[in-house]
Amino acid sequence: MTKIRIMGGAPVASGVPPLRLRVAHVDQANTVLTASDGDLWPSAWADDGALYAAAGDGTGFARHVWSDIVVNRIDGHPETGLTGERLSDGDAVAPIWQPGSFNRKPTGMVAVDGNGDSRDELYLAVQDLRMPDAVGGFDEAPTATVVRSDDYGRTWTWPRDPMFSDHVFTTIMFLDLGQSNGGSPWVYAYGIDGNWRTSFAKLVNDPTRLFLARVPAASVQDRATWEFVSAFEADGTPAWSRDITRRIPVLVDERRFYPTPAFGNGAHDFTCIAQGSVVWNPGLGRYLYSTWSEYTFEFFEAPAPWGPWRLLHSHDFGHFPWHGPRSPLAKHGGYAPTMPSKFISPDGRDLWLQSNWFVPASSRGGRAYCFGLRRVRFDPGQAAVTAASGNLARCLDASPLVSRVREGHESVLADGRRDIAEDSAFGPGSGEDVWGYEWPSPRRFDRIVYAPGPQDSLGGWFADGPRVEVRVDGRWMPVLRVTVKPPYRNDFTALEEDEYVFTFAPVTADGVRLTGTAGGPLRYTSISELEVWAPASSPAGRPGPDRRSPS
């Protein structure tokens, strides 16, 4: 049974409303690339203003000398340019506790002045991960520890023995509270058991539970001082225990993504509790957990580090093949997504997400296997209605709302052209298909014009519906008494029509979508244009490709 269970205490959950977004947008591909090589890149923003990040399996910010772990310094900002320097690597950073079948992978980093010398120490969580040339490569992480640097990443020390073992709390992600740990006397760490993501070979159970620990900033490497959330009080605050066997999860997500294998890729049935990052966003007043399944990004939000955690947004990139970030058809997801606090805008609405994609990372358009960033927009917007006329899809602040797009061109929905089309990434996806828009404030409209894509006997049409739904006060609801001309036929002949006009009584909403089950042997829908018309606006007066309606 597909479900999400949230742990965190009902009193807090009832007292703190969910973070409501009117626009949630994630770029379809990395748009900022760097002269680097590697993956994972957990990072920390230190007191000297630099971002420190550790890469796995690459050369880092250097052209040569591959290592399974590389520590780097990164300066600059995505808008103005990023530069990096390789600082340390391999055996100088961390040991391999079980050499032979395992190598080192960085999972979390924090910068904090725990000894009071007015200089940050760097702490890096490193796990043993099964090597790719072994049976079940990348499919279990039995051991982890935390290494320390007192000279901003150039030299490192570690405890004599692993800090975590027996597959328990072995994927460690430090909470990013901002520069120098936000000045907090505590360092918080989230942990996952078993593996850093779905265990394809099932050597361990797939991760579905996220745990939380804290440790005084002065004793991060002293395992005896770590405390784990072990219960919740009546008011929703956590109780802590130094006994790791008493830990309870702060988030449980038992959903499964892409249950059916596709196009020769046997991996399927992914979970989304995985290595990513948790960051404090002061502008939004929320903690954000960015994570992933194989083909999706998943975002959760909470008012406190321990919750209550709620699903905020999902972004589905569709199954492989993907296209590299320099391709004109750029579209790719990635793994281990992080959102560095250094790059969050003051109002919290604009963020940069870092993630990597390895296979086939060297596809047309270049590599995505580097420290690369893409824009994320999480906008609560405003409740006041914005007066607008004409085709509201062409408003400057309209954001496409899609289930997934095969070639990454969300702009097709509102580019004013009927000769360019997109589809919903043909193949066995998950959930219903969606084509629509959202705005940062409510709009009034009474008509939708849907132009499907080219005819295809393998798919492209809706097997049921499509239904018109609108979002009002954060809730999606069906629009009643909708008239469709011409009537929509739920088979391949639906693609023979140039357009379908959906009319209904005027509604005021900050989102609208057409949704239904995809049809055809490959189960996808197609689209060349989606128009949303304000009352008394004539479709005959559609603006051309270079004109937009006022917001």
Point out the domain boundary residue: 354, 379, 404: 379
- If asked whether residues 403 and 440 sit together in one domain, one would say yes
Which residue range(s) make up the domain with 522?
A: 392-541
Confidence class for position 4, pLDDT limits 50, 70, 90:
low
Position 538 pLDDT exceeds 80:
no
pLDDT tens-digit map of 488-518: 999 999 999 999 999 999 999 999 999 999 9
Q: What is the pLDDT of residue 35?
A: 95
In contact, 240 and 214? CB cutoff 8 Å: yes
- If asked whether residues 410 and 370 sit together in one domain, one would say no
Secondary structure of 67-115 in HEC code, one letter for each residue: EEEEEEEEEEECCCEEEEEEEEEHHHCCCCCCECCEEEEEEEEEEECCC
Specify the number of domains making up the chain. 2
* Least confident residue range of 45-59, 149-163, 269-283, 322-336: 322-336
DSSP secondary structure string, 483-531?
Answer: EEESPPPSSGGGGGSS-EEEEEEEEEEEEEEEEE-BBTTTTBBEESEEE
C-alpha distance from residue 239 to each of 156, 161, 213, 214, 250 (Å)? 33, 28, 11, 11, 12
Cα–Cα distance between 241 and 230 in angstroms, integer? 6
41, part of any domain: yes
Position 8 pLDDT exceeds 50:
no
- If asked whether residues 465 and 356 sit together in one domain, one would say no
- Cut 0.85: pTM above it: yes
Q: Residue 431 sits in a domain of what CATH number? A: 2.60.120.260
In contact, 359 and 367? CB cutoff 8 Å: no
Within its chain, how far is the Cα of 516 from the centroid?
24
Cα–Cα distance between 214 and 247 in angstroms, integer? 12
Q: Is 134 exposed, middle or buried (0-12, 13-18, 19+ CB in 10 A)?
A: middle
Q: What is the pLDDT of residue 63?
A: 93
| 3-class DSSP state of 246 | helix
Cα–Cα distance between 99 and 95 in angstroms, integer? 9
pLDDT tens-digit map of 363-417: 555 689 999 999 999 999 999 999 999 999 999 999 999 999 998 899 999 999 9
In contact, 405 and 331? CB cutoff 8 Å: yes
Cα–Cα distance between 242 and 231 in angstroms, integer? 12
Q: Residue 336 sits in a domain of what CATH number? A: 2.115.10.20
- If asked whether residues 36 and 152 sit together in one domain, one would say yes
- If asked whether residues 335 and 462 sit together in one domain, one would say no
- If asked whether residues 357 and 399 sit together in one domain, one would say no
- If asked whether residues 298 and 410 sit together in one domain, one would say no
- If asked whether residues 368 and 398 sit together in one domain, one would say no
C-alpha distance from residue 109 to each of 82, 179, 522 (Å)? 19, 12, 43
Residue 65 tokens, joined: 């000398």
Residue 10: DSSP 8-state:
H
Mean of pLDDT values over 104-120:
98
Q: Closest Cα partner for 213 from 172, 253, 179, 178?
A: 172
Point out the domain boundary residue: 379, 413, 448: 379
- If asked whether residues 65 and 196 sit together in one domain, one would say yes
548, part of any domain: no
387, part of any domain: no
Position 60 pLDDT exceeds 50:
yes
